[in-house]
């Protein structure tokens, strides 16, 4: 009987210790502080409620990219952040930028015909996220590069527009993700 009683009391102590440790972990999980490099709070600053996204200036010869990027940025901000899209005169913040370079690069060519098969569309941007109350940048990035690959040759014969769309989507994800960093 002493062995059974010892085992039951050990089991009770073990269960109590397990419950206490789970309670501690639960309370840490509900805290909005930074624990072990991970934040349990909001990813975006609550200091701002709205953002204006004007069409980026364009230093390249590609005239379609600024419009596709603006559209992708608006959709990404609306779907991934708590911020509302607003006009530049009414927004708390504005996201301004310049497309500095758009280039096509051949990645592969057919051995038989020497025609280009895969192409990379590389787009480089500079941008600032500006607090309209102070006029100062919240973040500023230069030389942000994104690429998209498309197959220009047969049988796929994908148009460059597919590359433009993909690179605009990727840039929008990258830019919006940078809005959640520690400033």
Which homologous superfamily does the CATH classification assign to the domain defined by 43-178? Answer: ABC-type transport auxiliary lipoprotein component (3.40.50.10610)
DSSP string, 44-62: S-TT--EEE-PPPEE-SS-
To the nearest whole number, what is the mean pLDDT of the chain?
82
Q: What is the pLDDT of residues 5-30, one digit of tens each?
A: 445 555 454 444 444 444 333 333 33
Structural domain spans, the chain? 1-41, 43-178
pLDDT value at residue 182: 63
Q: What is the pLDDT of residues 102-138, one digit of tens each?
A: 999 999 988 888 888 899 999 999 999 999 999 999 9
| pLDDT confidence band for 44 (50 / 70 / 90) | confident
Angle at 150 between CA 147 and CA 154, to 5 degrees: 165
| Structure-token pair, residue 179 | 């809005």
Instruction: Quote the pTM value.
Output: 0.73
């Amino acid at each position: 009987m002493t062995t059974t009683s010892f085992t039951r009391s050990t089991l009770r102590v073990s269960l109590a210790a397990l419950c206490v440790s789970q309670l501690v972990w639960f309370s840490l999980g509900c805290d909005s502080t930074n624990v072990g490099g991970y934040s349990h709070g909001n990813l975006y600053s609550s200091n701002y409620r709205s953002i204006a996204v004007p069409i980026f200036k364009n230093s390249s010869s590609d005239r379609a990219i600024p419009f596709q990027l603006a559209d992708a940025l608006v959709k990404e901000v609306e779907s991934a952040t708590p911020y509302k899209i607003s006009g530049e005169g009414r927004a708390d913040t504005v996201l301004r930028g310049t497309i500095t370079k758009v280039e096509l690069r051949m990645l592969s060519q057919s051995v038989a015909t020497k025609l280009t098969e895969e192409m990379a569309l590389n787009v480089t941007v500079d941008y600032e996220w500006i607090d309209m109350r102070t006029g100062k940048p919240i973040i500023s990035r230069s030389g942000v590069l994104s690429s998209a690959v498309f197959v220009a040759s047969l049988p796929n014969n994908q148009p460059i527009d597919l590359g433009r769309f993909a690179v605009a989507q990727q840039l929008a994800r990258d830019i919006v993700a940078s809005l959640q960093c520690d400033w």
